[in-house]
Each structure stands twice: as structure tokens, then as C-alpha cells.
């Protein structure tokens, strides 16, 4: 978890590789579908471009299908999911059905100015349609409104680990691996 621009996607790819599990990024899956002009992509695009969340029913079904793939059988790292209370409930039931649970929920903490600057840089480098100044601001608000409350939920379950997301990527990765190890969540 972490606000847009906290570095979730960047860290997810590195950490998943280190833990030898697939990184399941809902944002990436939506973007691939948009590029390939699938039905899902067409549906998701209008929400993404506006900086809004794709409806839970669509997102949950997509994650359910992805986690049923064989490479996720022994573990996975979720990036950008769950983002709403309803997604937490749906993930709980998916995990209960497979008789497993989350090892840890990682929260990347960053300061707002740094995040906005990172997003503006990414807009230039990657040309993402949802990285305009207006949409960046809206996405921060949506996160604060719908996703930030999930921090409490997972903290209450004793799963939350907070990691300082500021600084160079490899330093943040080292911090993440250290805390996951302490939380008993990292593969040895």
C-alpha cells in the first residue's frame, strides 16, 4: 500500500523477484487491457483516465482470475490491491477459499511533495494519461478517501509493516526486505 507515486510498482517488481513469487499489479493488468483494447480495457479506461477507481466488481473478478493461475499457487505479491473496504472483504474470501492468508501488508510512506514530483516525472517519461496535474491531485484524494482507511484495518490485524519510501530505489528495497524478514514474511 501507499499513495499514488509511493513506488509500489517499482518495489513490487524487485521484491517479488527476490521472493520468487509473481507480482500481481492491478494497475498493470488494467493498462495491458487498455493497450490491447479488450472489453475489460475499454471499461476500465474511462475510470483510469479520470483518476477514479475501477468498480470493485470488475477489479475483484480480475484479481480472482489472476490468483487462480498456476504461478500464484504458492504465493504472490499484490500491488495496488486491495484499495477499498469491499476489495478487502473479497480478498479475505479468496484467501479463505484457498486456505491461506496474507503474511504482511506493506505500507510505503512518502511525503506529498515528493510523490507529486515523482508522478510529474513519470508523466514525462511514460506518458501516462492519468498523470496530469489535475488527475494526480484527484488520485491522491481518492487514495485518502477510499484506501487510507485500510491501513487501520490491516494494522488492527497485526499485518501492517511501515517502510520509509523516500530515497533511492535500492535503499527502499533493502528496507523492505529487512522489515519483511523481521515480520517473518520473506523467504530465506
Interface residue list for ligand AMP (CB under 6 A): 4, 9, 26-27, 30, 47-48, 51-54, 59, 80-81, 83, 87, 130, 139
Q: Is 46 a residue of the active site?
A: no
Cβ-based nearer residue to ligand AMP, 37 or 178: 37
Minimum distance from residue 106 beta carbon to ligand AMP (Å): 14
C-alpha 111/C-alpha 99 separation (Å) is: 37
In terms of CB distance, is 61 or 187 closer to ligand AMP? Answer: 61
The CB-side HSE value for 101 (13 A sphere, CA atoms) comes to: 7
Q: Which among 18, 122, 162, 175 is annotated as catalytic?
A: 122
Give the C-alpha distances (Å, rounded to integers) separating 31 from 25, 26, 47, 122: 10, 9, 12, 15
Residue from 13, 64, 128, 175 carrying the catalytic annotation: 128
Strands, E, within 22-115: which ranges? 23-25, 77-79, 105-109
Whole-number Å distance between alpha carbons of 89 and 30: 21
Q: Supply the minimum distance, in Å, between the C-beta of residue 159 and ligand AMP.
A: 17
> Could you tell me which of 1, 136, 6 has the C-alpha nearest to residue 26?
1
Minimum CB–partner distance for residue 188 and ligand AMP (Å): 29
Query: Judged by CB, which is closer to ligand AMP: 47, or 75?
Result: 47
Judged by CB, which is closer to ligand AMP: 80, or 165? 80
Per DSSP, the three-state class of 178 is: helix
Catalytic annotation, pick one of 31, 45, 66, 139: 139
Residues across the chain: 188
The active-site residue out of 31, 45, 66, 83 is: 83
CB 143, min distance to ligand AMP, A = 9
Whether residue 157 lies in the annotated active site: no
CB 89 within 8 A of CB 97: no
Residue facing ligand AMP at closest CB distance: 27
Instruction: Check: CB of residue 108 under 8 Å from CB of residue 2.
Output: yes
Residue 37 annotated in active site: no
45 is catalytic: no
Is 8 in the active site? Answer: yes
Question: What are the catalytic residues?
Answer: 8, 83, 122, 128, 139
Amino acid at each position: 500500500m501507499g499513495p499514488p507515486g509511493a513506488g509500489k510498482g517499482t518495489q513490487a517488481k524487485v521484491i517479488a523477484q527476490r521472493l520468487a513469487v509473481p507480482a500481481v499489479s492491478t494497475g498493470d493488468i488494467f493498462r495491458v487491457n487498455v493497450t490491447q483494447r479488450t472489453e475489460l480495457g475499454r471499461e476500465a479506461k474511462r475510470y483510469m483516465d479520470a483518476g477514479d477507481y475501477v468498480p470493485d466488481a470488475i477489479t475483484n473478478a480480475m484479481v480472482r482470475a489472476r490468483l487462480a493461475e498456476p504461478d500464484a499457487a504458492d504465493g504472490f505479491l499484490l500491488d495496488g490491491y486491495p484499495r477499498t473496504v469491499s476489495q478487502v472483504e473479497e480478498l479475505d474470501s479468496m484467501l479463505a477459499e484457498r486456505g491461506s492468508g496474507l503474511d504482511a501488508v506493506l505500507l510505503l510512506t512518502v511525503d506529498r511533495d515528493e510523490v507529486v514530483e515523482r508522478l510529474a516525472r513519470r508523466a514525462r517519461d511514460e506518458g501516462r494519461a492519468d498523470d496530469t496535474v489535475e488527475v494526480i491531485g484527484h488520485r491522491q484524494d481518492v487514495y485518502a478517501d477510499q484506501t487510507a482507511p485500510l491501513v487501520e484495518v490491516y494494522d488492527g490485524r497485526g499485518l501492517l509493516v511501515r517502510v520509509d519510501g523516500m530515497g533511492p530505489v535500492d535503499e527502499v528495497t533493502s528496507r523492505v526486505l529487512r522489515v519483511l524478514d523481521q515480520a517473518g514474511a520473506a523467504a530465506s
